[in-house]
Structure 1
């Protein structure tokens, strides 16, 4: 059957008109690009994006951070306070009081979490009920960290970074400040203070062989030494540094699964190493080809040490307040329990009321007459960064500069 030319022409005009209508009435589609950037990208891109913020439509989503907050006997209330100072609905929290803490103290902490309407609503705080015995100079501290990391990987869904803290740590910025700043970072970065120049630790830590009674006893005892000494390993290079870290999920996943066996081999070596938390993760990450170029040489802490450093740093007080702020670090340690400087940090840096979480963009309640603004909750992905984000930006920009980033990786 042959159609007249006029009918074909009319039908063609109809199709063209239909195409115009669909095109003009359809919403514009803006091409999207993945935020996730490789750590090998030029660092100036990061700095430039902070100096000239991206349009609202392309601002990356906030990350999720998982925290381990660990303590011992008498640290129950300090653990609660540190948790509230760090709390954000997007994050996950693992709380651990070691076996030296009394069952009553551990139960009190568990009840504090269970009875909190805020924590129940988001279900993102967990208390390790079967406590580990932790010898702080032995490998049981590493085992406790790996235990918490395994729980987070198994039970806590998606998260981007893992941060280990103690009950004597305290934040110097809000979580809105931290999440805002970290939303612009490649998710594979690892903040870990490290060096292969182990100096005096070669004689005092690498050569001796110690036994940690916490591996096989139910009561706490200090480590003891074996008379025989050993040579430095040749299968991998030793690194040392701070026991406090910000680790990417991909690296934490690697330390748990250890698909090329390096994490397990290094763990067995460090089971007889004094102060193994200051070397295990550092040695693994710098000997793993996949991760050695993801390190940022910093623990993101303000810590006041003697020179040369002793076993423990100074306790921080009100006299250290300005130095803490000037450091631009997001965390500081160590603090005495309920030291007045913590109240000053709450008032001047965190805007946190007694017994309350630090308010953020997710808190939409009133502040009148001491009311908790987080009693009313809005969109938990809305961030309201404050002055702390500017300080943190200064620190991160310095750490990722051409002078500091690559030249200080695993050397």
Structure 2
């Protein structure tokens, strides 16, 4: 080993130890917000994300959580990180300022994130409630922020702190490279059933939209009729939406997105119907819907508010499912470590290695502490399972058997 190579190796070792020390310190202390990790030894990107149909797609992630979720959100971010993507992290208003500062500092401590500057933490947070309009308002705000940060990404993905990926970003981008980039993955139906009377017709007022504190929702004594000016669709609140459709929702050239938003502002669960109703009432976008949210979940029958918590006993089935994301998980459940070790090849407090990582991987050095071509991909075994699932979804789309019926 030459002197130059030895010096480079020692520098990488020192960098990894310093990052590990910082992450350890943040786990035992509150980490002041004024602490900024700006050391000059950080490698600068040798390539920048290149967008276009001849290059892999990129994703804009909106990751959110509440008080006590800062470590879960950091772990989730590291599990889905890639230099080509953008990330917006939102700790809701029930989290303390100290938690928000800890998360921002922990994000800045990751060498690749500091170098590529593609992760933002929301400073002025919103209340997030299970019912009412705050969640859909926060999601639309996140989409607008991510569009302002960069307009080169292709799909918008919503994740909560209790979600976790079942494949690498190389796997995800590889499979999405084979499909049209105007497709929207949104589980939907117009068969409202019991939801019509219990979730669509009740009139809800969410005071958290206009008050500085969290407040219980108000329910009117009377109900309203189901809309006749547009058809109501409902489904999973977890969506993967194209950039073109989100632009329509935010800057729509007709009044449809705003009309439907005004209606769902007083609905019990707007996130279960807003995007679904906009896309299925829009002639331009209704034929871009893949009727699946690409997630693995286990529900009661009839379904409750949330799916079952997943654990080690569910590992084999969720991996074989061909889904991209699973929910929901308890904090630090052992099954998350199994996913890290057996699927993502992710070490503690490190990002998932991909084709873009060019460093030496060991307990002391992080392979993703150095990088090469960030526009290259190296798919693994899960990509094949996910590709098989995607083929089935696209076949259903082409048969038009599941499009906004």
TM-score class, shorter-chain normalisation, is 0.7 to 0.9
**2:167 corresponds to:** 173
> Which residue number corresponds to residue 192 of structure 1?
186
Q: What is the Cα deviation at residue 371 of structure 1?
A: 2.8
Any conservation in 2 of the 1:398–1:404 contact (CA below 8 Å)?
Answer: no
How far does residue 293 in structure 1 lie from its aligned partner after superposition? 0.1
State how 1:329-408 maps to structure 2 within 5 Å: 329-369=323-363, 371-402=365-396, 406-408=400-402
Task: Return the alpha-carbon distance in structure 2 between the equivalents of residues 405 and 179 of structure 1.
Answer: 25
User: What is the match of residue 250 of structure 1?
Assistant: 244
User: Which residue is 1:46 aligned to?
Assistant: none
Q: What stretches of structure 2 of length at least 5 have no aligned partner?
A: 1-51
- Count matched residues: 355
Q: Which residue of 1 aligns with 2:322?
A: 328
Paired residue for 1:122, among 116, 121, 132? 116
The answer to whether residue 137 in structure 2 is matched with residue 139 in structure 1 is: no
The answer to whether 1:216 aligns with 2:210 is yes
SS at match of 1:407: coil
CA deviations 1:157-207 (Å, max 9, x no partner) are: 311000011011000000000001111110100000000001100010111
Give 1 or 2 for the bigger CA radius of gyration: 1
Structure 2 CA distance for partners of 1:381 and 1:204, relative to 1, 3 Å: same
TM-score, L = length of structure 2: 0.86
Q: What is the CA-CA distance between 1:402 and the residue it aligns to?
A: 4.7
Secondary structure, aligned partner of 1:247: strand
Which of 56, 59, 84 aligns to 1:62? It is: 56
In terms of mean alpha carbon deviation, does 393-402 or 249-258 score higher? 393-402
- Seen in structure 2, the aligned counterparts of structure 1 residues 182 and 129 have a Cα distance that, compared at 3 Å, is same
Query: Following the alignment from structure 1 to structure 2, what is the Cα–Cα distance between the partners of residues 407 and 389?
Result: 26
- Please, what TM-score do these two structures have when normalized by structure 1? 0.84
Distance 2:200 2:363 in 1: 57
Structure 1: how far apart are the matches of 2:215 and 2:399? Answer: 41
User: 2: CA distance between counterparts of 1:142 and 1:276?
Assistant: 6
Deviates more, 1:202-211 or 1:291-300: 202-211
CA distance in 1, matches of 2:362, 2:223: 65
User: What's the offset of the Cα at 1:257?
Assistant: 0.3
Give the match for residue 73 of structure 1.
Answer: 67
Shift in Å, 1:116: 2.6
| Mapped partners of 1:217, 1:324: distance in 2 | 41
Preserved contact between residue 67 and residue 162 of structure 1 (Cα < 8 Å): yes
